[in-house]
Amino acid sequence: MVFLDTHAFILFHQGNRNFLSESAIRIFDEAESLFISPIVLLETQYLAEIGRIRYGADTIFEQMSAAFGVRIEEDQYVQATRKAISFSWTRDPFDRIITAHASLFGAVLLTKDATIRLNYPRAVW
């Protein structure tokens, strides 16, 4: 089980692998199951609304789901939000919830974020 943070979700959607590490590409390509937390959709939509990315969350998710089988893990979202309360190493609510969500499953989290990688042992880039 592999979770994608927002940055990884968008980069894999864009298909330009030049911005991805070799290990991130390998883990993505070899993953039996790929998931995002629902909060990734919200952050993706924010980025679209401020013009940082071209497509909205629904479009990106539909394409990622069809092309790579990415799924939204909803069953443990409330527990992830509760667990994120204890993640005081960042003030970013998106990073807290995304990391907490992956940690509930002991899953690898593909993230370029150095702070997450320092604080979540299964975070990889």
Q: How do residues 42-90 score in pLDDT, each as one tens digit?
A: 999 999 999 999 999 999 999 999 999 999 999 999 999 999 999 999 9
Neighbours of 3 (CB within 10 A): 29
| Residue 48 CB-half CA count within 13 A | 16
**pLDDT given at position 19:** 87
Q: Using one digit for the tens of pLDDT, what is the confidence trace for 25-39? A: 999 999 999 999 999
Annotated domain spans of the chain: 2-124
pLDDT of 18 strictly over 90: no
Instruction: State in words which class domain 2-124 has.
Output: alpha beta
Torsion angles phi and psi, residue 36, rounded to 5 = -130, 155
Q: Is the pTM of this model over 0.85?
A: yes
**pLDDT given at position 122:** 98
Q: Using one digit for the tens of pLDDT, what is the confidence trace for 87-122? A: 999 999 999 999 999 999 999 999 999 999 999 999
pLDDT of 16 strictly over 90: no
Q: In what order do the strands lie in the sheet with 34-36?
A: 71-72, 34-36, 2-4, 108-110, 123-124
Q: How confident is the model at residue 17 (pLDDT cuts 50, 70, 90)?
A: confident
